[in-house]
Amino acid sequence: MQNTYHHWLLDIKEHIAYLTLNRPNKKNRIDTTTLTELGEITEILGSNPSVWVVVVQGAGDCFSAGVDVSLIGNMIGQEEASYRKNLRHAQSFLDAFEALEKPTIAALHGVVIGGGMILALCCDFRIAADNVIFELPEVKRSIGVIMGTQRITRTIGIAHTKEMVMLGAPVRAEQALHMGLVNRVVPVDQLQNQATSFAQQFLELPPLAVGLCKKIIDEGQFLERAGQDLEIEAQLGLLGTQDFKEAIASFFEKRKPIFKGE
C-alpha cells in the first residue's frame, strides 16, 4: 500500500511502513505542510494494526537540510500570543510522532540539519550512512533550537549538546556514533538494506509488547518511582492479549512463537 502526500511518501510492506520525506528539490526542508501531514500520517500509522515498525528516510541527496526559510521568516514580527501558539502547534506534530507506540528508525544520509535532526531524534533508533553531517546552526542566526533541545540532551548528554547547540559545529558520522547520536554507521550504498534489516528484527517480536516497552521507557524516565508503577499497570494491558498467550505457550512448547499483534 502506498500513499502520496505533498511532502511525504508512505509505503507499507510486510508490517514495515517506509515514510519518506519527499522534497528533494528543496533538500527535504520542513515547513508547515510537512509537519501538518506528519500529524495526519502519525494517526494513520498509530491506528493501523498491520504496521509494526516505521522507517523514516529522505528522498534525494540528503535526509533534511532543516526548517524551510519560510517558516523562519514567519517568526519575524509575530505577536507574542501568536508566536507561542504557532510554535506549540508545530511542536505537537513532532510530539505525536515521537509518542507513536511503535518502533521508529531514522535512515540518515547526507546533511541532517536543524529541524531535520530534531525529526531524526523523534525516532527511537538512528542508522547513519558514512556521509552524514549533523548540524544545529540556529545560534548563528540568533535563533535557539526551538523544537528539540531536550531531545538532544536526553540522547547525547549535556556536554555534547552544549557543543552542538552553542557552537553550531557540524558533527560527522563517526563522531556521532561516539557521542551516542546514532546507533549504527554504515556505507551509504547499504543504508536502505541495513535499515530494513534492523526493522525486520521487530517482526519476530510481539508488536503490542514492543510498543508498551517504548511507552514505559519514554514516559517512565520522567516519573522516577512512579515509573515502576507504570510498568506494573502497563503490563496488565498485555495479559489478555493473544500474543502474550502465544509467547508463554511457545516457551513451554519449545517452539518459535507466531505473533499477530492481537
Reading the chain (262 residues) residue by residue, the pLDDT tens digits are 667 789 999 999 999 999 999 999 999 999 999 999 999 999 999 999 999 999 999 999 999 999 886 665 555 555 666 666 777 777 889 999 999 999 999 999 999 999 999 999 999 999 999 999 999 987 776 677 777 788 898 999 999 999 998 899 999 999 999 999 999 999 999 999 999 999 999 999 999 999 999 998 888 776 655 545 665 566 667 767 888 788 778 867 888 888 888 8
Beta sheet of 171-172, edge-to-edge order: 111-113, 133-135, 171-172
Q: In angstroms, what CA-CA distances link 125 with 21, 54, 141, 259?
A: 17, 10, 29, 23
Which residues are registered as beta bridge partners of 123?
none
> How much of the chain is helix, strand and coil, in % rounded to 5?
50, 15, 30
Q: Which amino acid is at 112?
A: V
Q: What local confidence, expressed as pLDDT, does residue 183 receive?
A: 98
What integer pLDDT is reported at residue 236 of this predicted model? 62
Q: Decide: helix, strand or coil at residue 171.
A: strand
CA distances for 194 relative to 1, 59, 109, 186, angstroms: 22, 17, 13, 8
Half-sphere exposure of 5 (CA within 13 A, CB side): 21
Distance CA 31, CA 29 (A): 7
Element at 20 (helix H, strand E): strand 16-21
Three-state DSSP class for residue 120: helix
Bridge partners (DSSP) of residue 185 are: 128
Cell reading at 193: 538494506
What pLDDT is stored for residue 24 in this prediction? 96
Q: Looking at domain 2-203, which CATH architecture does it have?
A: Alpha-Beta Complex (3.90)
Q: Which of 98, 138, 105 is nearest to 17 (CA)?
A: 105
- Distances in Å between the Cα of 101 and the Cα atoms of 31, 49, 134 are 25, 11, 26
Residue 40 has which C-alpha cell? 495526519
pLDDT score of 228: 52
- What's the number of CA atoms in the CB half-sphere (13 Å) around residue 234? 20
Alpha carbons within 13 angstroms on the beta-carbon side of residue 237 total 12
Residues forming CATH 3.90.226.10 domain(s) in the chain: 2-203
The distance between the two most distant Cα atoms of the chain, rounded to a whole number of Å, is 67
- The residue type at 221: Q
At 91 the pLDDT is 84
